[in-house]
């Protein structure tokens, strides 16, 4: 902000100089008429005026050039945002490429040699895979008067946020892309559901009803030197994926270029940021877990240990990634079934098959020796 203010002052001063020069020129041009000078005196005065006029004209041109240069610098700086290793791994907004020097843009200078991330410069044509009407039909009651999510979880915010993650719904054939959309919306609908067994249009038409975790059990602050908790802030579940804990807010904020440690409620109030946090979780692997994206698109190959634990490619392993410590390996579980119910409804709407291995009833959780406090997410139980 200080840089913008000082640059604005410079431009203001330059324009003042130009105006003064213009007034001076007009003054010189009116001198002969003002003093009624003719003859030799008029010739001499005209000679002096011409000399001074040329000098002032050059000064005005120089001032205009400098003003233009300052404006170009300001415009350039306003469009370029730091990213990549120069900015702690932050992604460029709007799906822009991150150049080797850590600046955002869409030309070859940014997307070419040395590009650090989002080097395709686009997120595919997500709008051709899921239209506004389809989105509204899938999340049919999100704007119900009893839902927190009304006017937050918008179609435009979803499409805009996805541009920051160009591989989302952009790998494989059309069916694979649509299946990923169904899986993403299915899992996040369970996390935010406001449905019940006898709800109008069924329980799976009530996804994206809630924004904040209901009755959080703590502030979700774990001591951390890298991601310290801000004074007075709480890191309970917020947004489509119900992101929780200070270290998750810190990592996610760093990746999307937003200070979520000091402003965690942006996840509950800014539509695009809200969706970005969910997409960041979906696209980001956390060892020993693969990313949800890689699993649902078939890019993940289970190891022998995964197979021994029953973790196979399919929607069930996505559930294991998100909340396996609380839901998987326990036999029949209503929460797991609820996730599947949303997923099947969305696949039906998009016209794609469900794939195999939908549940995690007999899967061992990833890193099952870890304590609950170290889980990546603390999900809402519904």
Please report which residue ranges of 228-291 form alpha helices under DSSP H.
246-256, 266-269, 271-283
Using the 3D structure, point to which of 122, 141, 175 is the last residue of a domain. Answer: 122
Lowest mean pLDDT, pick from 37-46, 53-62, 171-180, 207-216: 37-46
| Residues 302, 374 within the same domain | yes
81 is catalytic: no
pLDDT at 374: 39
| Residues 288, 163 within the same domain | yes
Between residues 1 and 30, the one the model is more confident about: 30
pLDDT tens by residue, 16-44? 776 776 666 666 555 555 555 555 555 55
Q: Say which CATH number the domain at 318 has.
A: 1.10.530.10
Residue 30 lies in a domain: yes
Lowest mean pLDDT, pick from 112-126, 135-149, 237-251: 112-126
Domain span at residue 94? 82-122
**The two three-digit tokens of residue 11, written as one number:** 């431009």
3-state SS, residue 212: strand
3-state SS, residue 82: strand
Q: Say which CATH number the domain at 97 has.
A: 3.30.60.10
pLDDT at 42: 56
Q: What angle do CA 97, 99, 101 make, to 5 degrees?
A: 155
DSSP assignment of 129-164 equals HS-HHHHHHHTTTTTSTT-TTTTTS-HHHHHHHHTT
| Residues 28, 101 within the same domain | no
pLDDT at 283: 97
Using the 3D structure, point to which of 69, 104, 122 is the last residue of a domain. Answer: 122
Query: 117-140 burial by CB neighbour count: b if 16+ within 10 A, else e?
Result: bbeebbbbebeebbeeebbeebbb
* The overall pTM is greater than 0.85: no
Residue whose token pair is 């932050």:
90
Percentage of residues in the chain with pLDDT exceeding 70?
A: 73
What does the alpha-carbon distance between residue 187 and residue 373 come to, in Å, rounded to a whole number? Answer: 21
| Residues 102, 178 within the same domain | no
**Looking at the predicted structure, is the pLDDT value of residue 113 above 50?**
yes
Provide the number of structural domains found in the chain: 3
| Residues 108, 162 within the same domain | no
Mean pLDDT of the chain: 84
Residue 174 lies in a domain: yes
Length of the chain: 382
Residue 218 lies in a domain: no
| Residues 91, 183 within the same domain | no
When pLDDT is averaged across residues 130-155 and rounded to a whole number, the result is 94
Selecting among 180, 191, 213, 327, the annotated active-site residue is 191
Residue 382 makes CB contacts below 8 A (sequence gap 6+) with: 190, 193, 335, 338
User: Dihedral, CA atoms, 9, 14, 20, 24, nearest 10 degrees?
Assistant: 170
CA nearest to 127, candidates 180, 163, 94: 163
Residue 35 lies in a domain: yes
pLDDT at 55: 66
For residue 353, the tally of other CB atoms under 10 A from its CB is: 10
pLDDT at 323: 95
**The two three-digit tokens of residue 327, written as one number:** 């839901």
| Residues 308, 194 within the same domain | yes
Residue 301 lies in a domain: yes
pLDDT at 13: 64
**Confidence band, pLDDT 50/70/90 cuts, at residue 105:** confident
User: Dihedral, CA atoms, 4, 6, 8, 13, nearest 10 degrees?
Assistant: -170
When pLDDT is averaged across residues 123-130 and rounded to a whole number, the result is 82
| Residues 305, 381 within the same domain | yes
| Residues 282, 352 within the same domain | yes
| Residues 279, 302 within the same domain | yes
What does the alpha-carbon distance between residue 330 and residue 362 come to, in Å, rounded to a whole number? Answer: 7
| Residues 93, 156 within the same domain | no
For residue 20, the tally of other CB atoms under 10 A from its CB is: 14
Residue 291 lies in a domain: yes
Residue 153 lies in a domain: yes
pLDDT tens by residue, 199-213? 999 999 999 999 999
Using the 3D structure, point to which of 79, 111, 143 is the last residue of a domain. Answer: 79
pLDDT tens by residue, 216-274? 989 999 999 999 999 999 999 999 999 999 999 999 999 999 999 999 999 999 999 99
What does the alpha-carbon distance between residue 362 and residue 359 come to, in Å, rounded to a whole number? Answer: 8
CA nearest to 140, candidates 346, 315, 379: 346
Residue 251 lies in a domain: no
| Residues 180, 290 within the same domain | yes
What does the alpha-carbon distance between residue 240 and residue 271 come to, in Å, rounded to a whole number? Answer: 10
């Amino acid at each position: 902000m200080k840089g913008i203010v000082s640059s604005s002052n410079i431009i203001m001063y330059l324009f003042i100089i130009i105006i003064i020069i213009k007034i001076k020129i007009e003054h010189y041009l009116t001198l002969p008429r003002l003093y009624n000078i003719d003859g030799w005196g008029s010739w001499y005065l005209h000679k002096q005026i011409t000399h001074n006029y040329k000098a002032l004209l050059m000064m005005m041109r120089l001032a205009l050039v400098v003003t233009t240069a300052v404006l170009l610098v300001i415009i350039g700086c306003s469009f370029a945002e730091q990213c990549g290793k120069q900015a702690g791994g932050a992604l460029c907004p709007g799906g822009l490429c991150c150049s080797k020097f850590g600046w955002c843009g869409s030309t070859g200078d940014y997307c070419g040699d040395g590009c650090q991330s989002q080097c395709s410069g686009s997120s595919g044509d997500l709008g051709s895979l899921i239209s506004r009407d389809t989105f509204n039909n899938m999340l049919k009651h999100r704007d119900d008067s009893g839902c927190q999510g009304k006017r937050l979880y918008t179609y435009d915010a979803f499409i805009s946020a996805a541009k920051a993650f160009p591989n989302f719904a952009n790998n494989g054939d059309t069916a694979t892309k649509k299946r990923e959309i169904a899986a993403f919306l299915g899992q996040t609908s369970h996390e935010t559901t406001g449905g019940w067994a006898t709800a109008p249009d069924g329980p799976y038409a009530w996804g994206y009803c809630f924004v904040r975790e209901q009755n959080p059990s703590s502030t979700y602050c774990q001591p951390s030197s890298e991601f310290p908790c801000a004074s007075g802030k709480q890191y309970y579940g917020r947004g489509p994926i119900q992101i929780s804990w200070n270290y998750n807010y810190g990592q996610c904020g760093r990746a999307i270029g937003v200070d979520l440690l000091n402003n965690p409620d942006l996840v509950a109030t800014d539509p695009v940021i809200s969706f970005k946090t969910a997409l960041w979780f979906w696209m980001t692997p956390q060892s020993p877990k693969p990313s949800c994206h890689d699993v649902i698109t078939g890019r993940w190959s289970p190891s022998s240990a995964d197979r021994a634990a029953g973790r196979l490619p399919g929607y069930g392993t996505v559930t294991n990634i998100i909340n396996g410590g609380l839901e998987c390996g326990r036999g029949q579980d209503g929460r797991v079934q609820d996730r599947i119910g949303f997923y099947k409804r969305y696949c039906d709407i998009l016209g794609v098959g469900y794939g195999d291995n939908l549940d995690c009833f007999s899967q061992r959780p990833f890193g099952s020796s870890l304590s609950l406090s170290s889980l990546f997410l603390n999900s809402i139980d519904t």
